[in-house]
Amino acid sequence: MLMGKVIGEIVASEKHPSHEGLKLLTVAVLELDGSLRVDAPFVAADSVGAGVGERVLITLDGFGAMSAVDRNLAPIDCAIVGIVDEIQLADTP
Q: Which residues contact 46 (CB under 8 A, 6 or more apart)?
A: 22, 23, 24, 25, 69, 79, 80
| pLDDT tens column, 22-48 | 999 999 999 888 888 888 899 999 999
Q: Is the pLDDT of residue 91 over 90?
A: no
| pLDDT tens column, 57-68 | 999 998 899 998
Q: What domains does the chain contain, in order, with CATH numbers?
A: 2-12+21-83 (2.40.50.220)
Query: pTM to 2 decimals?
Result: 0.88
Mean of all residue pLDDT scores within the chain: 91
